Amino acid sequence: MGGQALPGGLPVSRRHPHLPDGALVVHAGEQALPARPAGRGPGESPGDQVLHSPDPPGGLRPSPRRRRGAGAGQERPPVSGRFLGCREVEAGSRAVLLGLPLDVTGCGRAGVKEGPAAVRQASQFLEEYSLSLRADFRDVAVFDALDLPLPPGNLPGALKAIEDEAGRVLAARLALLALGGEHLVTLPLVRAAAARYPGLRVLQLDAHADLADQYGGEPLTHATVMRRVAEEVGPGRLIQAGIRSGTAEEAAFAEANTLWVDPRTPAGLEETRRALRGHPVYLTVDIDVLDPAFAPGVSCPEPAGWTTGEALAVLSALADLEVVALDLVEVCPPADAGAATAVAAARILRDAGILFFHP
């Protein structure tokens, strides 16, 4: 395949549907910082949750350097608390970004309730324009609705609130992007999408199968969420990639009900495309699909994962699928030294928005 070089000699290959020759993939080295120990605050229990983080997580502040915005020489506007390049009003938007700071059922490191705020803050260090995709996230016209208020101490109520709001967004013919929070938020989001789009398929990028029938005696947790999703959409309609952790019970359920693929390989990519092509698709990205070297700030780190570049390349290769909604979950800021995970998550979310929802 023909290519070109960016400054510094980085190779670029075209394979994007919005370009004559397809999308662009940049192959470059990446660095990550080691994780610091995580812990709960005084008196905080696993069931505690907050709806907003009062201070920017990870000590991040927007860059003071001048950058090109709408015109040459313009400074980046002040941080609004919204994700990079997002709109402040829903009218005229094509998509809605919704923060879901749920952190109730997790069994690992606490703090994913701070994920939406951390990813929004980290996004300010990116450009709205993607050099690799040759497209601008602002052109997607995403309204950032900030965080959805969730009733404290009421898990059923929180899940219903998420499903109701997702249903409202999708009924308005808007695309939906969601930021968790724990992975359980995917269940009500999928329910809303399945009600709107018959024949829905789900693509899960994750280190963990999340197919347990119960965890700690509970059927609704971040370790059981994809079992409930598989039951919701039906056998063969959940496609799982990046999985490298699970029990014998989960493996047996997967063999009969889901499809495990590795879309980083040509054969695995084609298998993934065959399973999803021609159907509406819900995409869920658990950030721990990345190796801890690239995403240390997660609740349950699992070695031998993907690189950030591999995740971006997989999404680029699937850009012509009919993705109707997506989420990105499980960023854990208290364990995220240098905000490396939040920045990776922001990059994945920006690129996914361009790839799947750019006009």
Query: Which of 80, 57, 221, 50 is CA-nearest to residue 149?
Result: 50
Query: Comparing 32 with 190, which gets the higher pLDDT?
Result: 190
pLDDT (tens digit per residue) in 79-134:
569 999 999 999 999 999 999 999 999 888 999 999 999 999 999 999 999 999 99
Answer yes or no: is 41 within a domain: no
E strands along the chain, which residues? 3-5, 11-15, 23-26, 95-100, 129-130, 135-136, 142-147, 175-180, 201-205, 238-241, 259-261, 280-286, 322-329
Tokens representing 99?
Answer: 């923060």
Give every CB contact of residue 149 below 8 A, 6+ residues apart in sequence.
51, 161
57 pLDDT more than 90: no
pLDDT (tens digit per residue) in 177-231:
999 999 999 999 999 999 999 999 999 999 999 999 999 999 999 999 999 999 9
Query: Which of 52, 50, 76 is CA-nearest to residue 62?
Result: 76
How long, in residues, is the chain? 359
Report whether 179 contacts 116 (CB < 8 A): yes
Answer yes or no: is 191 within a domain: yes
52 pLDDT more than 90: no
- What value does the mean pLDDT take over residues 325-348? 98
Query: Which of 214, 249, 262, 256 is CA-nearest to residue 235?
Result: 256
pLDDT (tens digit per residue) in 238-261:
999 999 999 999 999 999 999 999
349 pLDDT more than 90: yes
As a whole number of angstroms, the distance between CA 283 and CA 189 comes to 10
Answer yes or no: is 26 within a domain: no
Answer yes or no: is 64 within a domain: no
The residue with tokens 């398929």 is: 201
The residue with tokens 């324009």 is: 129
Answer yes or no: is 11 within a domain: no
Answer yes or no: is 104 within a domain: yes
As a whole number of angstroms, the distance between CA 67 and CA 70 comes to 10
Report residue 137: phi and psi, to 5°. -60, -30
21 pLDDT more than 80: no
Domain count, the chain: 1
In angstroms, the Cα distances linking 174 to 28, 205, 348 are 34, 23, 20
How crowded is residue 319: how many other Cβ atoms within 10 Å of its Cβ?
A: 20
Query: Which of 198, 178, 173 is CA-nearest to residue 188?
Result: 178
As a whole number of angstroms, the distance between CA 117 and CA 276 comes to 32
Answer yes or no: is 37 within a domain: no
Helix 248-257, helix 225-233: angle, nearest 10:
20
1 pLDDT more than 60: no
Tokens representing 200?
Answer: 């829905």
pLDDT (tens digit per residue) in 225-236:
999 999 999 999
24 pLDDT more than 70: no
Q: What is the pLDDT of residue 16?
A: 46
Answer yes or no: is 322 within a domain: yes
Q: What is the pLDDT of residue 80?
A: 63
How crowded is residue 139: how many other Cβ atoms within 10 Å of its Cβ?
A: 17
As a whole number of angstroms, the distance between CA 274 and CA 297 comes to 33
pLDDT (tens digit per residue) in 278-315:
999 999 999 999 999 999 999 999 999 999 999 999 99
Tokens representing 27?
Answer: 């192959």
Q: What residue numbers bound the domain in which 289 lies?
A: 83-357
Query: Comparing 100 with 6, which gets the higher pLDDT?
Result: 100
Q: Which of 55-69, 93-107, 170-184, 326-340 has the lowest mean pLDDT?
A: 55-69
Tell me if residue 353 falls in helix, strand or coil: helix
**CATH (domain of 316):** 3.40.800.10
pLDDT (tens digit per residue) in 136-155:
999 999 999 999 999 999 99
- What value does the mean pLDDT take over residues 269-277? 98
Model confidence at 276, pLDDT cuts 50, 70, 90, reads: very high
8 pLDDT more than 60: no
